[in-house]
Structure 1
Amino acid sequence: MTQSANKTQGLTCPECSGVVPIAEGDRIVECPYCHTFSLVQGERGVRRWQVPQVVERERALQTVGNFFRGVKKARDLAAAAEIKDTFLVYLPYWRVEAFVAGWMFGRVKSGKDSTRPIEVQISEQMHWNDAAVDVAEYGVHQVAISKEQLRPYDSDRLHAEAMVFEPSESHTDAMIEAEQHFTYRGRKSRHLRTKFFEKFHFLRQRLSIVYYPLWVSRYEYHKRNYQVVVDGVNGNILYGKAPGNIFYRAAALVGGLALGNLILVNGTWLAGLMVSNSDEDGNILLLLMPIAFGIALIAAGYRAFRYGEEVEEIQKGARKATLAGQSDSSTLVSALTGGLMGDKADMESVMRSGMSVLEELTEGRR
Structure 2
Amino acid sequence: MPPEPSAGTTIQCPQCGGESPLPAGRELVRCPFCSATLFVDRSAVVSHYSLPTLLDRDEATAALRRWMAGNETVKGLDRESQVENIEPLTFPMWLFRAHTDAGKVVFVEPAAPTPIPQVADLEVPAGKLEPFHDPEASVRPIEPTIPLETAKGWVQQRGVHRVTETALVEVPFWHFRYKYDGRSYRALVEGSTGTVLAAVYPEKAESPYVLIAVLGLVLFGLEGLAISNPVLKLLAYAVTAIPLTLIAYWVARKV
Q: TM-score category by the smaller chain?
A: 0.5 to 0.7
For the pair shown, the structure with the greater C-alpha radius of gyration is: 1
Q: Which one of the candidate residues 217, 221, 225 is aligned to 1:260? A: 217
Match of 1:324 in 2: none
On the 8 A contact 2:96/2:166 being kept in 1, the answer is yes
Q: Distance in 2 between matches of 1:144 and 1:5?
A: 32
State how far apart, in whole Å, the 1-side matches of 2:185 and 2:210 are. Answer: 25
- 2:155 matches 1:178: yes
Deviation sequence 1:249-298 (CA, Å, 0-9, x none): 4421320211134456766x69x999xxxxxxxxxxxxxxxxxxxxxxxx
Structure ranking higher in helix proportion: 1
**In structure 2, C-alpha distance between the alignment counterparts of 1:243 and 1:209, rounded to whole Å:** 34
- The one-letter amino acid of 1:179's match is Q
Counterpart of 1:203? 162
- Identify the range of structure 1 (133-142 vs 206-215) with the bigger mean alpha-carbon deviation: 133-142
Task: Give 1:41 deviation, angstroms.
Answer: 5.7
The 8 Å contact of residues 91 and 172 in structure 2, kept in 1 or not, is answered as yes
Structure 2 CA distance for partners of 1:3 and 1:179, relative to 1, 3 Å? closer
Which amino acid in 1 is paired with 2:50? Q
Q: Which secondary structure state, in structure 2, belongs to the residue aligned with residue 160 of structure 1?
A: coil
Q: Measure, in 1, the Cα distance between the counterparts of 2:197 and 2:140.
A: 18
Q: Match of 1:162?
A: 139
Query: In 2, distance between residues paired with 1:260 and 1:125?
Result: 46
Deviation of 1:71 (Å)? 5.3
Q: CA RMSD in A?
A: 3.8
Tell me the residue number matched to 1:23.
Answer: none
Aligned to 2:127: 148
Partner of 1:50: 50
Pairwise CA distance, 1:76: 3.7
In structure 1, what is the Cα distance between the partners aligned to 2:104 and 2:211?
49
Distance in 2 separating the partners of 1:61 and 1:77: 13
Distance in 1 between residues matched to 2:28 and 2:38, nearest whole Å: 8
* Distance apart, 1:125 and its partner CA: 1.8
3-state SS in 2 of match to 1:53: coil
* Offset of residue 182 of structure 1: 4.6
Q: How does 1:220-299 map to 2 (within 5 A)?
A: 220-239=179-198, 241-245=200-204, 249-263=206-220
> Against the structure 1 CA distance between its residues 81 and 167, is the aligned structure 2 distance closer, same or farther, given a 3 Å change threshold?
same
Q: For residues 244 and 147 of structure 1, what CA distance do their matches in structure 2 show?
A: 33
TM-score normalised by the chain length of structure 1: 0.49
1:303-322 to structure 2, matched below 5 A, reads none
Change (3 A) 1:6 1:232: same
* CA pair 2-177 structure 1, distance change in 2 beyond 3 A: closer
Structure 2: distance between partners of 1:64 and 1:99: 36
Distance 1:250 1:99, change over 3 A: closer
Alpha-carbon distance, 1:124 to partner: 2.0
Query: Is the Cα contact below 8 Å between 2:107 and 2:155 reproduced in 1?
Result: yes
Distance verdict in 2 for CA 1:265–1:229, change over 3 Å: farther
**What residue is the counterpart of 2:69 in the other structure?**
69
Q: Deviations over 1:312-358 (max 9, x none)?
A: xxxxxxxxxxxxxxxxxxxxxxxxxxxxxxxxxxxxxxxxxxxxxxx
Q: TM-score, normalised by structure 2?
A: 0.67
1:129 matched residue in structure 2:
108
Q: What secondary structure, in the 3-state scheme, does the structure 2 residue paired with 1:168 have?
A: coil
Using the alignment, how far apart are the partners of 1:241 and 1:228 within structure 2? 8
Name the CA distance, whole Å, in 2 between partners of 1:5 and 1:65: 46
- Asked whether the 8 Å contact 1:133–1:167 carries over to 2, the reply is yes
Deviation per residue, 1:46-104 (Å, 9 max, x gap): 4222212111111011112222324554434333211101111211111111223xxxx
Deviation, 1:168, is: 2.3
The answer as to whether partners of 1:11 and 1:153 remain within 8 angstroms in 2 is no
SS in 1 for 2:69: coil
State the match for 1:82 in structure 2.
82
For residues 244 and 71 of structure 1, what CA distance do their matches in structure 2 show?
9
1:228-263 Cα shifts (integer Å, max 9, x gaps): 221210113233643245xx5442132021113445
Give the aligned length: 214
1:149 Cα deviation from its structure 2 partner? 1.9
Q: Mark the runs of 5 or more structure 2 residues left unpaired by the alignment.
A: 1-17, 231-247, 249-255
Q: Deviations over 1:129-155 (max 9, x none)?
A: 11122222464213222333222223x
Q: What are the residue-to-residue correspondences of 1:15-26 with 2, within 5 Å? A: none
Amino acid at match of 1:162: V
**Separation of aligned partners in 2, 1:241 and 1:220:** 12
Change (3 A) 1:11 1:264: farther
**Structure 1 residues 264, 68: closer, same or farther in 2, change over 3 A?**
same
